[in-house]
A = this chain, B = another copy of it.
Amino acid sequence: MNTRLAVATHILTFIATQGGQPATSELIASSVNTNPALVRRLLSQLAKAGLTTSQMGSGGGALLACPADQITLLDVYHAIDDNNAVFALHDQPNPQCPVGRVINTVLKGRIAAAEQAMQKQLSTTTIADMASGVAAENRKRA
C-alpha cells in the first residue's frame, strides 16, 4: 500500500497542465507536497519507461514524452515498479504434502487473473482523462 502510483500520476497530470512548459522538480514537489529529490527519483523511472523527458540545465525541467491521451495509468503502474505484483506466493511450501506440493501452481493462475483484471481497469484511464477530471473538479468548486 504505497503512494507511488498516486504521486507518479500526480506528477504526469501536473506536467500535462503546464501547456508544454518544462516543469521543474521543485515546482512539481510543491504541488505534491514532498521534496524535489523524490520527484526526480520518480521522474527518472518515468523517463526510463519513455513517458517523460527531461531538459537539463537552466530553464529545464520535465515534459511528457508522448501525448497525454496516450499515457494510461497502466503505463504508469508498469513504469514505477519492475515487479508489479500485488500478491506474492509464499516460498517453499512443503513438497512432502499433497497440498503444499501444488498449491502455488494452482494459486498462481488465480492471482494472475485478479491482477490482470486490475491492470485492465487501470488501462482505461489516461493522463488526459486525469487532466480533464482535474479541470472539471475545479470548475465544480469555483
Contacts and interface: CB of A to CB of B under 8 A. Distances in A.
A36 B119 CA distance: 35
A11 to B, nearest CB: 10
B6 A87 contact: yes
A115 B118 contact: yes
Query: In the complex, which range does the number of interface residues on chain A fall in?
Result: 35 or more
Nearest to A119: B114
A33 B102 contact: no
Contacts of A48: none
User: What does DSSP make chain A's interface, helix, strand, loop or mixed?
Assistant: helix
Interface string A68-95: 0000010000000001011111111110
Interface in A103-138: 103-107, 110-111, 113-122, 124-125, 130, 133-134, 137-138
Interface in A1-35: 1-3, 5-7, 9-10, 13-14, 17, 30-34
A66 interface: no
Given A87-B1, A114-B121, A93 B32 contact: yes
A131 to B, nearest CB: 8
Given A89-B3, A120-B117, A110 B10 contact: no
A101 interface: yes
